[in-house]
Amino acid sequence: MEKVKSTLTKAVFKLLRPLVHILLKNDVPYSAFTQIAKHVYVDVATNDFKIEGRKQTVSRVAIITGLSRKEVARVQEIDQPEVSEEKGYNRAVKVIRGWVADPRFMDDSGAPRELSFDEGEYSFIELVRLYSGDVPGRAMLDELKRVGAVNVSADNLITLSQRSYIPKQGETEKIEIMGDAAADLIGTIKRNLDKEGDNNFFQQTVAYDNLPKDKLKEIRALSNMQLQTCMELVNTWLAQYDRDVNKEVEGEGKMRAGVGLYYFEEKVEERFDEKLEEKIDEDNS
């Protein structure tokens, strides 16, 4: 058990380094982070560690988290941050995904077709209506132009120039994407730690730690190209089961599933400090 605790502590240290960098960059102090962590501890203990058939009590949450009963009660009275499934960037992502996966908006070669703004049966307005609900078409077009995802020709034909939604400006949107992507990855890791055998979710990493710096540009470009191709294949395949895309799909419940791909690079000397690793071992001994 002590070995697991030590290994977990090291893993959390590695995990927190880039997160704390982002927090400090955005003027979020340590005190604010501790309040967030406290809230999450109480929320997870309350909802994920119930005894079957019994109501979760403040006392049990206090025992699990190590907080006092008074502090648990105080945290439970504080409103949690609102979690909205319909974030602005989610709507833009849905429009792009529909454009590259819905045959009605693709040409004979299977590529996203040029669209008029509001003319014809399958216009940009119709695409937005199908995949973004009540968002005005002009507002969606302005957003996709802002992030460089579309081009508009002199004769007002709209072309998809980027098959992913990556905000070029606006830290808020980038942070929202970071939160979702990181939560999905850690959620997969959590499930694979909890489950054994054939029920694990796919989770693989390929990395080498003796690469010359002047080769990274080439590696990055090749990775981006191959991963984008893979993502488009998965998107086309997965979209056929989504009831927003394919109204003929039947079944119970409303589930969310997907695949996340990412590229990373770093200096080897910036990895986990061996002295800090020794200190963590001492603290846990």
Domain boundaries, the chain: 1-82, 88-160, 170-199, 204-285
* Predicted confidence (pLDDT) at residue 86 exceeds the cutoff of 70: no
pLDDT at 58 over 80: yes
285 against 229, higher pLDDT: 229
What's residue 221's pLDDT?
Answer: 95
**Alpha carbons 212 and 57: distance in angstroms, whole number:** 56
Query: Residue 207, by phi and psi: left (phi above 0), alpha (psi -120 to 50) or beta?
Result: beta
The CB density around residue 94, as the number of other CB atoms within 10 Å, is 22
Instruction: Tell me the average pLDDT of the chain.
Output: 85
Annotation: CATH topology of 88-160: Arc Repressor Mutant, subunit A (1.10.10)
- Confirm if 22 and 175 have CB atoms less than 8 A apart: yes
pLDDT of residue 227: 92
pLDDT for residue 80 is more than 90: no
Q: Are the C-beta atoms of 113 and 105 separated by less than 8 Å?
A: yes
Share of the chain above pLDDT 70, in %: 87
Q: Find out whether 178 and 167 touch, Cβ atoms under 8 Å.
A: no
Is pLDDT above 60 for 84?
A: no
Please, which contacts does 245-252 make with residues 24 or more away whose CB atoms are closer than 8 Å?
245/98, 245/101, 245/102, 245/131
Segment 164-168 mean pLDDT = 65
- pLDDT recorded at residue 174: 79
